[in-house]
Copies of this chain bind each other. A is one copy, B any other.
Amino acid sequence: MTARLIAALALAAALPLGAQDRRGRDLPAFLGPLRRVPVPDENPMTEAKVELGRKLFYDPRLSGNGALSCASCHNPALGFADGLPKGIGFNGAVLGRGSPTVLNAAYQETFFWDGRAPSLEEQAKGPIQSEKEMNNRPEKVEATLRAIPGYVKLFQEAFGGEPTLDRVAQAIASFERTVVDLDSPFDRWACGDENAMTDAQKRGFELFTGKARCMVCHSSATFADKRFHNIGLDDGDPGRFAVTQDEKDRGAFRTATVRNAAVTAPYMRNGRFKTLREVIDHYEKVSNEKEKHSNLSIFMLPLKLDEEEKKDLEAFLHALTGDKRDPRVNVVPELPR
């Protein structure tokens, strides 16, 4: 309990006070500043676990050939994503979908584009074992880590036991809960700082929540509704259907967070769009050509934005780039031997 308290205090210190404790403005109930990172009871955060997780996140020895780490595709240099349309994994394999940012992933309730993992812990175990990604096996991960005295010691300190894949995932998830990008211009504005957003950004927010209806799906503090929608990318990827076997989910994907969108191009799960403007234009176009798409979300409605409005909306999206990241998350740790 003490360790958990320490971790909670550490996180509280990292958060701008206003973002946790008050809401300075009359916002829609489903939008607002990010609150404290949710931590599951089964995996309380401790400093030891976070620090171990940071090492594991950056350690290529978790991969089958020792050349790829979590940070290879979730690269802090590129907004904890990779800047590629689709991820590039083991031996240069091009993956089926793009690498989502880890920034603020801690606030999500499902993971992977099709939502097949219910927690950061479950997610972390996926790419390590995927043949096209890190291509490793649990027993080899465990054997590798148990042969590194520095890790044996760190796992003992963090978990009171030896390295296991489950503990690897718990430590990485704990680290990822510190990879949050708070205190964006929007958050500061939402907490009462009138000057934190430009006039264009404020007009963009009006459009986002009003005429353009973006917030129908991009709701909640993460600007994502934690649901699955088909937005007309039509590239044959079954998406959520693969998880539910429900035809209504065919081609539907988890709503992406709009936070940090300005630093996580390209966009959509297949990286089809290079700019935010292309994204805006896609919604307009698809909504106006509903008959050309199958299984389209009922929320795909024409935005009816003029040129100025599109610029304002894009300006608002730039107000969602966090300015206050824990500096430790970008520091490559020296790894145990």
Contacts and interface: CB of A to CB of B under 8 A. Distances in A.
A88 B66 contact: yes
Interface stretch (A9-17, A69-77, A304-312): A69-77
A265 interface: yes
Contacts of A61: 83
A69 B67 CA distance: 12
A233 interface: no
Contacts of A65: 88, 92
Contact of A77 (B67, B88, B334): B334
Contact of A67 (B82, B265, B331, B337): B82
A333 B78 CA distance: 9
Contacts of A69: 77
A151 interface: no
Contacts of A77: 55, 58-60, 69, 332-335
A102 to B, nearest CB: 13
A67 B91 contact: no
Nearest to A330: B332
Interface in A95-116: none
Given A263-B334, A331-B331, A72 B67 contact: yes
B67 A92 contact: yes
Nearest to A334: B77
Copy number in this complex? 2
Contact of A60 (B83, B90, B335): B83
A124 interface: no
Interface string A294-337: 00000000000000000000000000000000010011111101
Interface string A107-134: 0000000000000000000000000000
A145 interface: no
A-B complex: 10 closest residue pairs judged by Cβ atoms: A91-B92, A67-B88, A76-B332, A77-B335, A330-B332, A58-B77, A77-B332, A66-B84, A331-B331, A91-B91
Interface of A: 55, 58-61, 65-67, 69, 71-72, 75-79, 82-84, 88, 90-92, 263, 265, 327, 330-335, 337
Given A75-B332, A91-B91, A92-B92, 8 more contacts: A59-B77, A60-B83, A66-B82, A66-B84, A66-B88, A78-B335, A83-B335, A332-B332
24 contacts: A58-B77, A60-B77, A60-B78, A60-B82, A60-B83, A61-B83, A65-B88, A65-B92, A66-B84, A66-B88, A67-B88, A69-B77, A72-B72, A76-B334, A77-B332, A77-B333, A79-B334, A83-B335, A90-B92, A263-B334, A330-B331, A330-B332, A330-B333, A331-B331
